[in-house]
Structure 1
Amino acid sequence: MSTTAEKPAAPDSEPGAAGQTLAASVRRGVGKRPIRTGRVRRLTRRDKLVLTVMVGLPTLIQLLLVWLPTLFSVALSFTRWNGLDLKDIKPAGTENYRFVVEDYPPFWPAMQHNILWLVFLALVATPLGLLLAVLLDQKIRGSKIYQSIFFTPVMLSLALIGIIWQLFYNRDSGLLNYLLGTAGTPAAVDWFGDSNVNIWAAMVAATWRHAGYVMILYLAGLKGVDPSLREAASIDGANAVQTFFRVVFPAMRPVNIVIVVITIIESLRAFDIVYIINRGTNGLELISALVIQNLVGEGQVIGVGSALAVILLVISLIPIVFYLIRTFGKESKA
């Protein structure tokens, strides 16, 4: 009997065919992430027009309303001019600055009042705003309503605030004298008319607005503090006061710098409220009010007013430059 070797049937697929197919697919680039060509979309004519308007228009407004008047003020501070005829402009060198510093009686009282305004805002208004922010950050009931109430004065101009506080400080019918029981009597205090107390009354009115502004800034800073920092301080046994002053407050250093700069600028640019009260005279002399007194009115002295404006500008630039150096210095290190 003869035996015949049977030929095994061919399998449906060769061994390793799946791997070969996958390898071939990889070689052909199937499954690969598409390679970016790095091409940048070109700006269309419409894009260029929109960018030109959005950048050029604010720049033009800033140039016309801020920088050109600033340069003109600097130039006029070295001249004598009556403000009427351009032909009467005469060079004066540094005579206007010498007159302001040595022979202009209201200048140094105005400097003292500006410094007093700064100290009052720094030691009273700013801590008050911080206290309000800390209290409203405790998730108390109706905190949004309280935030709106305290922030409302910030939306008002200082001129309007001066009018509101005139009603409060009025000698004969004001709310304050009424609460003191002296309204309509000889013992009533003329809060805005008495040169011994009007600067303090004006600073209290300014505090009403400044505290709300500081409150909003600190509320934003408190929301940005990492909660894990408070938890770690609590685990270490720190109480609420220690946690705030040793952990939370130092963590808000960028906000603190901004508030310091804003407080300094607010103390220097204070003008509206004192001008509403008595045009910045009789105990309410401020540098900003002296600038307007010399630039506007019958007794205008353009050179002196411009010199005062330049002095105020230089003093204001100090905190601004400090803030910019700190900000861009950190970015360059990063």
Structure 2
Amino acid sequence: MTTSTDKSPARAQRPAAAPAGRVKRLSRRDKWVLAFMVGLPTLIQLTLVWIPTLLSAALSFTRWNGLSLKDIQPAGTDNYEFVAQNYPPFWPAVQNNVLWLVFLALIATPLGLLLAILLDQNIRGSKIYQSIFFTPVMLSLALVGVIWQLFYNRDSGLLNFLLGTAGTPEAVDWFGDSSVNIWAALIAATWRHAGYVMILYLAGLKGVDPTLREAAQIDGANAVQTFFRIIFPAMRPVNIIIIVITLIESLRAFDIVYVINRGTNGLELISALVIQNLVGEGQVIGVGSALAVILLVISLVPITFYLSRAFGKDKEA
């Protein structure tokens, strides 16, 4: 009795299984694609961000009129000493940046959270309301400033019209009066910031495990207790992101005040002072660079905090 062996082409051509734990080598084409995908963004980042940043840091220790490289002279820390001691707009700008942060943290951010809570209740037309509140986020801050100029205009603005003072001597110059223009600008910034916070918190609320709400209801907790003791702590990653975003927004605030009056007459901000010293007839490159470095160092604090929390969490996991 004879036995026959199976020599079918399917079995004969079956590839051998790769040894366990062996990593497939990249082909030359894969290496070129990987180098392009990593190298191009890195080159753009270096060209547009890091090289100008390093040059600004270097120029902050010099005196230069911005015309000829031969005119650059070393100045040591004179520019920083001038900013801190003899530059009148600096400390009002610091105070305005702090006020901007406090207002966004205590007014704009809670407002965005409130909108998120209301729109998370599956009310009729929720998607429409979300679109309406998120629309300002899609607009640039410069355009937001232009829109609110129409609202705050002294002679024909909507606000003075509603107050019945448009075109009269009693009309308030909301952007021209140094005692009120910072508050008017903050309300305009809140219009945009609240919509951004709303979307982030809506995403956080959708990601909370529904069983947490059910367990809280079984334990007899009301809606307020459930939110502040269960839901809000469960959104800790979102809370950290919003804290960092609020800090950065308060530091990078520039567009609105520059559209209003170029950051003068009560609307001084550090970012506006940077542009005032780097651009225009009275440019002082060293002072402007020193202000930019100060702003960068302050901005690195929340960024470092966020990255340390993010990478620390990944490391623990």
TM-score by length of 2: 0.93
Partner of 1:196: 179
CA distance in 1, matches of 2:17, 2:30: 27
Partner of 1:237: helix, strand, or coil? coil
Partner of 1:37: 19
Q: Any residues of structure 2 matched to 1:111-122 within 5 Å, and which?
A: 111-122=94-105
Equivalent of residue 62 in structure 2, options 37, 54, 79: 79
Indicate the residue corresponding to 1:323 in structure 2. 306
CA distance in 2, matches of 1:332, 1:43: 28
Q: List per-residue Cα deviations over 1:125-149 (Å, max 9, x = no partner).
A: 0000000100111111111111111
Q: Which of these residues, 18, 32, 40, is aligned with residue 49 of structure 1? A: 32
1:96 aligns with 2:69: no
1:61-111 superposed Cα distances (whole Å, 9 cap, x missing partner): 110000000000100000000000101101000000000000000000000
- Residues 239-250 of structure 1 mapped to structure 2, 5 A cutoff: 239-250=222-233
Aligned: 1:107 with 2:90: yes
Distance 1:115 1:132 in 2: 25
| Alpha-carbon separation, structure 2, partners of 1:40 and 1:274 | 56
Structure 1 counterpart of 2:205, from 202, 205, 222: 222
Per the alignment, residue 3 of structure 1 pairs with: none
Aligned pairs for 1:56-71 within 5 A: 56-71=39-54
Q: How does 1:9-48 map to 2 (within 5 A)?
A: 36-38=18-20, 39-48=22-31
CA displacement, residues 13-70 of structure 1 (integer Å, 9 cap, x when unaligned): xxxxxxxxxxxxxxxxxxxxx9751343322232222212211111111100000000
Identity, % of aligned pairs? 84
Number of equivalences: 301
Amino acid at match of 1:329: G
Alpha-carbon distance in 2 for matches of 1:277, 1:133: 30
Deviations 1:198-243, CA, capped at 9 Å, x for gaps: 0000000000000000001001100111111111110111000110
In the alignment, the residues of structure 2 paired with residue 50 and residue 193 of structure 1 have an alpha-carbon distance, to the nearest angstrom, of 55
Larger Rg: 1
Q: Partners in 1 of 2:190 and 2:30 — Cα distance? A: 46
CA distance in 1, matches of 2:291, 2:278: 10
Aligned match of 2:129: 146
SS at match of 2:46: helix
Q: Partner of 1:285 in structure 2? A: 268
Structure 2, gaps ≥5 residues long: 1-15
2:11 is aligned to: none
Residue in 2 aligned with 1:131?
114
Partner of 2:190: 207
**Is the partner of 1:225 in helix, strand or coil?**
coil
TM superposition score normalised by structure 1: 0.89
Per-residue deviation at 1:271? 0.3
User: CA offsets, 1:157-210, max 9 Å, x none?
Assistant: 000000000000000100000111111111100000000000000000000000
**In the alignment, which residue of structure 2 is the partner of 1:295?**
278
2:219 counterpart of 1:236? yes
Question: Which residue, out of 269, 274, 290, partners 2:257?
Answer: 274
Aligned-partner residue type, residue 310 of structure 1 = V
Moved over 3 A (4+): none
* RMSD (Å), alpha carbons: 1.0
Amino acid at match of 1:320: I
